[in-house]
A and B are shown apart, each in its own frame.
Chain A
Amino acid sequence: MANFFLDNDDIKFLFEYYDLKELARLQEVDAENGDADYVPRDEDDSVDNYRRILEIVGQVSAETIAPNAEDVDREGNTLNDDGTVTLHEKVRENIWRLRQADVMGFTLPRRYNGLNFPNLVYTMANEMVSRGDASFMNIFGLQAIGETVNAFASQEIKDEYLPKFASGECTGAMVLTEPDAGSDLQAVRLRAHQDENGNWFLNGVKRFITNGCGDILLTLARSEPGIDDGRGLSLFLSERSDRIRVRHLEEKLGIHGSPTCELVYDEAPARLIGERQRGLITYVWALMNGARIGVAAQSVGLAEAAYRLARTYAHSRHQFGRPIERLPAVAEMVTDMRILVEASRALTYETTFGCDVENNNLRILETSKRTLSKEEEKERKQQLRTYKRLNGMLTPMSKYYTSETCCRVADLAIQVLGGSGYMKDYAAERYLRDARITTIYEGTSQLQVVAAVRGVASGTFDNWVTPREEKVYDDALLNELKDKLIEGRSRLSEAIQFSKKRSTDYLDLAGRRLVDCAIAIIIGHLFLGQATKNDRKKRVARRFIDTEMCTLRMNCERVLAADVSSLEEYQLLAGPVPSNA
């Protein structure tokens, strides 16, 4: 029987490679178990659970979600006259299967019938679901909404809604974007007001809302009419009602299974999440970080699917009397695809591991009912600070790198399949259409670079790299490769110093190249680590580092060239605004 966990050697390898026992221990400290009868006995038991449940998700992804994907893509969802949306029957079947598998509350506490699994395991699951159908990740992956409610809402709201999230009875949506507030969420205008009894109501329009037809909506709204920026925004929870209509279902290039809604709020009752004015600056920020990891997982899964299709095709398609994979140009494309998938996965899992450490320490510090000893408190605060800074860099890096990479891998898949890849007979064209959104939503690549470059230009990157440069491997090849990474880093440092001395604009302009260099070095070190446990990974590390260090030299050279013509000569080079557009 097909299974996207059991058939994936790289995921299985990383499942062993990462210290999941350590994560399990952390995850279970002060866990809220209620009267659950499925509490693990120890960390071995937890890890055994992780593996078993990933097998179930792997099975549902392969046996249900993947076979449903084509029809879902062709037929999409339906907007009804009464402002409700009917999901495609196969999307509903996917949800039903995952509800039966009892995996809609992956990370929620057991007290609410969740599984209390770390994000790393959830990310693996998300990846497998996305390999089946990337568009369905937008429903399965919305569990971050339940997490946000768990992290910030009142106990009363948590008790009422979290069991519904965990059972999958309700799906949710994060309702942020408006026609004039996309990347710039500080400009949100949807109004929240209170009646004399203190009840909140929402009025306004939201656009491009993934699963906006969901049952429970977390809406960012302006609760302080006098404050124009992000500090005037609060987060609200509303249940679906006839006060919230779906006015329009977007027609999109890809992810047709994911309903993208325009919502109209007309005196819609709402409940405040957490405190007023912290909506954007605290809650949405946390929500976004989770969502970015979600998109990274989606990108990795999609790239995996595209790679597998191309690998199989290159092997079975014969031209000139032999399989096309024996043609050098095709062999190189397929090799690149596989290594890019592994590189994406390495970065995403590393990031998610760090997020688990951060989130759990924060949870323990803020919600533990024990009195923490001075040492424990100090140690947890220290870990929290370190990982918060690190994740502030790695999360946007992962989102940026994996999404750009999945577009490239999906594009290469079509190229390997040639004419057949361009036709609807194969899934390759769907993969490319689905991939294209990943560099845009939950923050565009350009915004991810802005967020990541701060960490690269400050000490965060150096702090991560330095101990890895000091490692001595018991393998000559690995040490040689490590020296290449060290050389790459010194070139990058030079380029960073150079950029910093110029204007802020220049740092923005050079940002993408600097971040690309840093990502290549980080993934290079991750591969070296993996190579200590797996001989094939030595060859992967060799190929990746030798290729990427060439690109790094090019990028550094371009940064040092200080070309600002795209700014200074914009009118001339970009040409006049077309008059007939």
Chain B
Amino acid sequence: MRDDGTVNRAALPAIFNPEDLNALETALEVRDAYGGTVTAISMGPPKAADILRACLFRGADRGVLITDRRAAASDTLATSYILSRAVRTVGRFDFVFAGRQAIDGDTAQVGPQCAEKLGIPQVTYLEQMIHVKDGIARIRRNFGDGWEVVDAPVPLLVTVLGSANRPRPSAARRVMRYKRAQIEAEVAAEVKAELGSASEDERNAETARRVKELAASGLLIDQWSLDDIGADLSRCGLAGSPTKVYRVQSIVLTKEGYTEIPATEEGIRQMIHELVVDRTLG
């Protein structure tokens, strides 16, 4: 947590947001069934490249990381703007799949806002992609207290529920191949560590050489800045974020002792009573 109330993501481990894995799985299943390619896009500090490698391990065809200091402190509005620019930069597409929500902010806003900025229809809470026929996707969506089947034309943005599927594991041969996939920033850091005494020009030349080599063998993860996606800087980062975080608390849950519940009617009643009182139930 920074003093200004924004989250210092560089200090946190990069993890794969659980429902984004379900979104990736849906994308891979649609590709496996109907053809096409899957491009994984993420925004974050350079080490978010780990997440893109994880996408490649599972079967994504390409990875793109939007990393730019000027994007730091973006709220959902700015994030969805940046991601929508990235999608546009990728080019023609039929689907954008996003996890329903992240487990840090729990807002579920980025997907829908992204669809608005792309000017395309959206279907939220996908539980099953029933089929895609003649440019129409038939989707079963679950909104908690019921479900419905909707038809929507592509291009389309879909947010995916955790219950939609069980994400596939990483594939061994892809892991052995794509563990070498890197973004340019990682290559540069590696060169700096190896050739610390060389001049900046020499290092840049070496970085460029290695990046070219990676690209030639299909192991380059694209690294795009806000300029690369033609973003309006006033809509990015802190400047583009109307949300102000008032306070974030770090809560560590600890296990407290051991309670034995007698296996009697009375014991169970007592336990339920306690759970209701502390609002675990009801």
Contact = CB atoms under 8 A, between A and B. Distances in A.
A59 B172 contact: no
Nearest to B172: A102
A289 interface: no
Contacts of B171: 100-102
Interface stretch (B105-113, B155-163, B173-181, B246-254): B173-181
A258 B173 CA distance: 27
A517 interface: no
A222 B175 CA distance: 45
Most chain-A CB neighbours within 10 Å: which of B172, B173, B175, B260?
Answer: B172
Most chain-A CB neighbours within 10 Å: which of B171, B177, B260?
Answer: B171
B146 interface: no
B131 interface: no
Contacts of A64: 166
Contacts of A101: 168-172
Interface string A88-103: 0000000001001111
Contacts of B172: 53, 56, 101-103, 115
A539 B170 CA distance: 38
Contacts of A60: 169
B169 A52 contact: no
Interface string A141-155: 000000000000000
Interface in A99-119: 100-103, 113, 115
A56 B179 contact: no
A59 B169 CA distance: 8
B173 A318 contact: no
A154 B239 CA distance: 69
B11 to A, nearest CB: 22
Nearest to A46: B176
Interface string A55-81: 010011000100000000000000000
Nearest to B58: A100
Nearest to B218: A37
Contact of A37 (B168, B177, B179, B260): B177
Interface residues of A, number: 20
A101 B179 CA distance: 15
Chain B residues touching A, majority SS: loop
A102 B260 contact: no
A49 interface: yes
A49 B175 contact: yes
Contacts of A34: none
Nearest to B179: A52
Nearest to B175: A52
A320 interface: no
Contacts of A40: 176
Nearest to B219: A37
A53 B177 contact: no
B170 to A, nearest CB: 5
Contact of B173 (A59, A97, A115): A115
A96 B58 CA distance: 14
A577 B221 CA distance: 76
A64 B169 CA distance: 10
Contacts of A36: 173
A48 B180 CA distance: 12
A547 to B, nearest CB: 32
Nearest to A98: B169
B173 A113 contact: yes
A60 to B, nearest CB: 5
B262 to A, nearest CB: 11
Contacts of B260: 318
Contacts of B177: 37-38
Contacts of B175: 49, 52-53, 56
Contacts of A52: 170, 175-176, 179
Contacts of B217: 37
Interface string B250-269: 00000000001000000000
B180 to A, nearest CB: 9
A535 B239 CA distance: 56
A102 B174 contact: yes
A60 B176 CA distance: 18
A56 B176 contact: no
A97 B169 CA distance: 7
Nearest to A40: B176
A97 B179 CA distance: 21
B14 to A, nearest CB: 15
B264 to A, nearest CB: 15
A59 B167 CA distance: 12
Contacts of A38: 173-174, 176-177
A49 B168 contact: no
A159 to B, nearest CB: 19
Interface string B212-227: 0000010000000000
B203 to A, nearest CB: 23
Contacts of B176: 38, 40, 49, 52-53, 115
Interface in A388-439: none
A100 B168 contact: yes
A115 B171 CA distance: 11
Nearest to B18: A1
A56 B170 contact: yes
Nearest to B176: A38
A246 B217 CA distance: 48
B175 to A, nearest CB: 5
Contacts of A318: 260
Contacts of B168: 97, 100-101
Interface string A23-64: 000000000000011101000000011001100100110001
Nearest to A323: B258
Nearest to B170: A56
Interface string A317-356: 0100000000000000000000000000000000000000
A103 B168 CA distance: 13
A60 B170 CA distance: 10
A38 B173 CA distance: 6
Contacts of B173: 36, 38, 102, 113, 115
A331 B122 CA distance: 60
A167 B174 CA distance: 13
A37 B178 CA distance: 10
A100 B169 contact: yes
A59 B176 CA distance: 17
A64 to B, nearest CB: 8
A443 B174 CA distance: 38
A38 B172 CA distance: 10
A132 to B, nearest CB: 13
B214 to A, nearest CB: 13
A53 B177 CA distance: 12
Contacts of A53: 172, 175-176
A102 B173 CA distance: 7
B259 to A, nearest CB: 11
Contacts of A59: 169
Contacts of B179: 48, 52
A199 to B, nearest CB: 36
A124 to B, nearest CB: 14
A40 B177 CA distance: 9
Nearest to A41: B180
6 contacts: A53-B175, A59-B169, A97-B169, A100-B171, A101-B169, A102-B174
Given A40-B176, A52-B175, A100-B171, 12 more contacts: A36-B173, A37-B177, A38-B174, A38-B177, A52-B176, A53-B175, A53-B176, A101-B168, A102-B172, A113-B173, A115-B176, A318-B260
